[in-house]
Amino acid sequence: MSAKAITTLPPSNIWPSLQIDPFLSYLAIECGLSENTIQAYRRDLLKFANYCHHQTLSNPDKITPRFLQNFAKSLFELKLATASIARHISAMKMFLRYHQLFNLVNRDLCSVLESPKTWQRIPRVLSKKNTIDLITAIDPNTQMYHRDKAIMELLYATGMRASEIADLQLDFINYQVRFIRCIGKGSKERIIPVHQTALDLISNYVKTLRQKVLKGGVSPLLFLSRTGRPLNRIAVWRIVTKCARHAGLVGKITPHTLRHCFGTHLLQGGADLRSVQEMLGHADVATTQIYTHVDGEQLKKIHKKYHPRP
């Protein structure tokens, strides 16, 4: 079968014996995975279901190690990104373990699935000056200026993800003790300190623009669209990219760039790794350690200062 044949997704109920929907419910309820992760796993598993359909395999107990290896090979033939293939295989491993847990398959098949090695890329981090230029590059003549200004300041002040900003509720902000309650991946809660400048911008937005877009309505969410509807993470992404253009910054700059800047600038300023891990909501401190890299300019200064040759 052509590898491209698996890219056409079947209906979610084409293989009820594969238990895709119950498995996704299990991930949400028992494992606490985020909605974005669950939807990505759903797309990956539907590709596998379609592969099974084309191979006329209708019973999960008939899956063999060779069958799984052929499916993994088809992913490489599609020329997917290494990270995408790794996620597909991770989804498959969890899926097979779920079937084994509930006695839907009678043997462990996960050992035959090996994820491709992925490079750990050093994230792009802006200089402190460029970061300030970015978060202040909002056009004051736009209708949503006060909202966008508060969002940009908050992204850098807290290191929150775009989805976390979009899901932020009005009562999650404590102006007195200057903390924000954040619900992150897997519904994990963390408390992040926030400086007064960001709080003042949020307060100004709430008292002025937010009331106008609500038009007498009620919403628990802090940031809203111009029509008073919930703001999604794509809208947050667009705000950041628009500011990057206005600031004259080249290259790909996203909300996650400000998250990288938050972590890196804190560590460069002397913050301890464990505290930064807590504020970013990383489950593993190894994820936070990537921000301990030294930037190129600092390396040049050290080399110039200490190397015996001029």
For the cut 80, the answer to whether the pLDDT of residue 7 exceeds it is no
**Tokens of residue 164, six digits:** 């976390």
What is the average pLDDT across 63-90?
A: 82
Active site positions, annotated: 161, 185, 256, 259, 282, 291
The residue with greater pLDDT, 215 or 114, is 215
Helix (H, G, I), strand (E, B) or coil at 189: strand
- Provide CB contacts within 8 A for 191, sequence distance 6+: 179, 180, 181, 182
**Which region among 63-77, 172-186, 200-214 has the lowest average model confidence (pLDDT)?**
63-77
The residue with greater pLDDT, 185 or 182, is 182
What pLDDT score was predicted for residue 261? Answer: 93
User: What pLDDT digit, counting tens, does each position of 86-130 carry?
Assistant: 888 888 888 888 888 887 777 777 666 676 665 556 678 899 999
**Tokens of residue 27, six digits:** 């991930």
Confidence of residue 8 (pLDDT cuts 50, 70, 90): very low
For the cut 60, the answer to whether the pLDDT of residue 230 exceeds it is yes
**Tokens of residue 251, six digits:** 């290259």
- Provide CB contacts within 8 A for 128, sequence distance 6+: 265
- Nearest 5°: the CA angle 15, 17, 21 is 70
Confidence of residue 9 (pLDDT cuts 50, 70, 90): very low
Full-prediction pTM beyond 0.85?
A: no
For the cut 90, the answer to whether the pLDDT of residue 171 exceeds it is yes
* Phi, then psi, of 191 in degrees rounded to 5: -110, 125
Q: Which stretches within 78-221 are classed as H helix?
A: 82-101, 128-135, 145-158, 162-166, 196-207, 209-214
* Integer Cα distance of 60 and 67 in angstroms: 11
- Nearest 5°: the CA angle 160, 162, 93 is 95
Residue type, 262: F
- Nearest 5°: the CA angle 64, 66, 67 is 65
Where does residue 40 rank: exposed (0-12), middle (13-18), buried (19+ CB within 10 A)? middle
Q: Which structural domains are found in the chain, ordered by start?
A: 3-112 (1.10.150.130), 128-300 (1.10.443.10)
* Phi, then psi, of 190 in degrees rounded to 5: -140, 160
What pLDDT score was predicted for residue 10? Answer: 45
Q: Which three-class secondary structure string do you get for 10-22?
A: CCCCCCHHHCHHH
**What's the CA dihedral at 154, 31, 35, 283 to 10 degrees?**
30
